[in-house]
Structure 1
Amino acid sequence: MKFNFKLERVLNYKRTVEDLKKNQYGFVKQKLNREENKLDGFMERKKAIINEKDSSIVKTKVGNLVMYNNYIKDINRRIEEQKKVVAQVQEELEKSKEEMINAVKEKKIFEKLKENKYEEYLYQVKKEEEKLNDTIVNFKISTRQ
């Protein structure tokens, strides 16, 4: 008698879904890291421009100061836009994390079910062996008489 789990195909499907969700989560996590790095780049650029403006304020012409201010305003606008992008990707990451957690839970349910069915199968095999042993013992006893 061989163990056969009737829901093996479903379990395999759940494993595939889990792997897919884990990969998707990893992809979104990488995307978030890229977007956060982009935001950090804008912040560093802003600091550098402000430092450059402050260090050359005495010898800079008014036109250049206006240009620095316009550039800083543009960077501030980009920073705000990038913050929105980062927030959106963080939401996407949370959603992806929830989907991954649900997929893991669903797979574990079927794995536990398979484990329970296997234990039940082993119990039945043991009972069959005991019956067979009893039958053999009874046969030997009856043939001796």
Structure 2
Amino acid sequence: MKFGFKFEKILGLKEKLEDNKKNEMAIISNSIRDLESEISKMEEMKRERYDMLEEILMSGASITDIKKLSYSIECSDVSIERLQQKLSSLRESFNYKKTEYLEVMKERKSFEKLKEKHIDEFKHIIKLKEEKALDQINTFRIRGTS
């Protein structure tokens, strides 16, 4: 007698879906790390420009140079803000994917528990059949020796 789990295909699909969600989370997580690194670099550039601005203000630079550097700092602020919004969006997306992943994982575990239950029931049925067969053999032996 061979065991067959009637929901095996569904369990397989849940496992594949879980792997897909995990991969999607990894991709978003890598994007988040890359974006955080980019923001950090932009903030460092902005600090360097502030330092340059302080230096040229102390040295008595021209208004044009001061305006250029101030404009560059403002552009950095805009870029950083845009990147932070993108980062926020990615984090929301990651949280959504994480929720989806946890739900799929929960569903997969439910099917695995159901499969384990079916396996236990199958083993129990096999054991009962074996016991019945042994009883029949013993009955034939007793009849044969009488």
User: What TM-score, normalized to structure 1?
Assistant: 0.96
Larger displacement relative to structure 2 (84-93 or 31-40): 31-40
Aligned-partner Cα distance in 1 for 2:95–2:7: 30
Aligned-partner Cα distance in 1 for 2:30–2:104: 20
Match of 2:43 in 1: 43
SS in 1 for 2:101: helix
Letter in 2 for 1:26: A
Specify every segment of 5 or more residues in structure 2 that has no aligned partner in the other structure, as ranges. Answer: none
Match of 2:114 in 1: 113
Aligned-partner Cα distance in 2 for 1:62–1:131: 102
- Residues 29 and 94 in structure 2, CA contact (< 8 A), matched pair in contact too: yes
Aligned-partner Cα distance in 2 for 1:21–1:141: 62
Match of 1:28 in 2: 28
State the aligned residue count. 145
Match of 1:13 in 2: 13
**How big is the shift at 1:132?**
0.6
Q: How big is the alpha-carbon RMSD for the aligned residues of Structure 1 and Structure 2?
A: 1.0
Aligned-partner Cα distance in 1 for 2:55–2:136: 100
1:102-139, CA deviations, whole angstroms, 9 ceiling, x for partnerless residues? 11111111111101000100011111111111111111
**How big is the shift at 1:99?**
0.8
Letter in 1 for 2:8: E
1:41-66, CA deviations, whole angstroms, 9 ceiling, x for partnerless residues? 11111011111221332222222111
Aligned-partner Cα distance in 2 for 1:102–1:109: 11
Aligned-partner Cα distance in 1 for 2:90–2:18: 21
Q: Percent identity?
A: 28
Specify every segment of 5 or more residues in structure 1 that has no aligned partner in the other structure, as ranges. Answer: none
- Residues 56 and 66 in structure 2, CA contact (< 8 A), matched pair in contact too: no
SS in 2 for 1:56: helix
